[in-house]
Amino acid sequence: MTTAPRRDDPASGRSRTTMKQVASLAGVGVKTVSRVVNNEPNVSATTTERVWNAVRALNYHVDLAAGNLRRADGRSRTIGLLVGSVDNPFAAAIHRAVEDAALHHSVAVFASSLDDDATREEGAVSAFMRRRVDGLILTTTQQPTYLTTLRDRDIPAVFVDRVPQGLDLDVVSSDNQAAAARATAHLLEHGHQRIALLTDRLSIQTAEERRRGFLEALGEAGIPTRLATIVTELHDEETSRAALGRLLDSETPPTAVFSAQNLVTIGALRALRERGLQNEIALVGFDDLPLADLLVPGVTVIAQDPQQIGQRAAELLFDRLGGDRGPAQRVTVPTRLIERGSGEILAPAS
């Protein structure tokens, strides 16, 4: 078996496989190879398999930048994903679901962390556009200022977790307010009235929605909302641990805690265990935690479904890339209350 000579890659000092060599090994024309690697239609399954076998055998790397200049649809076969933080289990699960969906479309995913920083958000979206991504899946800190640019360039975008207000956009999220009300009602049903809410910055939409759900449940139970204990601006484990520690050391400590974010829940768990109160103070967290069922007591949570959120967002985006020009969709993914023990601790007798 003979293949065409390899041409030099000046950047690496090594030879690089060419599309002509792939075509020769597969027994097809260069145009057919181009159509296969660019996922274009009207190539038989048998031919497609021969081309991909040749690609793998020769370790051929598709030059997406050059391919963009030749493709009829101008696609880069990439999408951008912006999440809160890639090291947060919730965001990581969304990331994995989007990657799994993209794999089926032979599309690569560029991912970046938002870190709840509007400047970082703008920079990440600009970087995605410079890379000529075909579409975007975005978590946002704000009312996006880049939407006009996306529309001018015909780049579809789907928003996840947080819903830009007053805008006709594709969104996939949980019903944060209703879920937070359910968590609070669960603690009320176990006799608690002194319930502390620990939550993130209220400038973050989901944190504000969860605060509203907490107050809604208290109001429906006839508990004056002005007496509610709410601690905000908790964005990590350490600030949450310290904040709950101060409440537990006060003259009127809470008998129950609703921690409205997964990292906040970890901090709350540490504060309770440092004082040996994990079996006395009830706790319900928002978002599930790894190994939450192995603790004693297990951690009761409102569990979102980040895999489903990521999957539905990817489906929406690929529908748009496939030509869907229908009305914007708002998809609400259900949450679940998972009872494991910590949220079922009864309030102390009066």
> Which domains can be identified in the chain, with CATH numbers?
7-70 (1.10.260.40), 78-174+306-334 (3.40.50.2300), 176-303 (3.40.50.2300)
The SS3 call for residue 45 is: helix
138 C-beta neighbours (distance < 10 Å), count: 27
State pTM to two decimals: 0.78
**Alpha carbon distance 72, 161 (integer Å):** 34
pLDDT digits (tens, 9 = 90+) for 242-264: 999 999 999 999 999 999 999 99
- Do 57 and 66 touch, CB atoms closer than 8 A? no
**Alpha carbon distance 344, 350 (integer Å):** 18
**Alpha carbon distance 114, 81 (integer Å):** 10
Q: Which two tokens stand for residue 190?
A: 């176990």
pLDDT (0 to 100) of residue 244: 98
- Do 234 and 296 touch, CB atoms closer than 8 A? no
pLDDT (0 to 100) of residue 141: 84
Side-chain-side CA neighbours of 123 within 13 Å: the count stands at: 9
Q: For residue 274, what is the enclosing H or E element?
A: helix 262-274
pLDDT (0 to 100) of residue 348: 93
**Alpha carbon distance 18, 128 (integer Å):** 28
Q: Which residues of the chain have pLDDT under 50?
A: 1-14, 69-70
Radius of gyration, alpha carbons of the chain:
26
Phi, psi of 111 (to 5 degrees): -120, 145
Among 251, 257, 247, 241, CA closest to 192: 257
**Alpha carbon distance 89, 78 (integer Å):** 23
**Alpha carbon distance 105, 24 (integer Å):** 26
Q: Which two tokens stand for residue 117?
A: 């920083």
pLDDT (0 to 100) of residue 342: 98
Among 117, 19, 121, 14, CA closest to 4: 19
**Alpha carbon distance 168, 181 (integer Å):** 27
Distance between first and last Cα of the chain: 87
Q: Nearest 5°: CA angle at 218, between 217 and 219?
A: 90
**Alpha carbon distance 138, 115 (integer Å):** 13
Burial of 161 (0-12, 13-18, 19+ CB in 10 A): buried
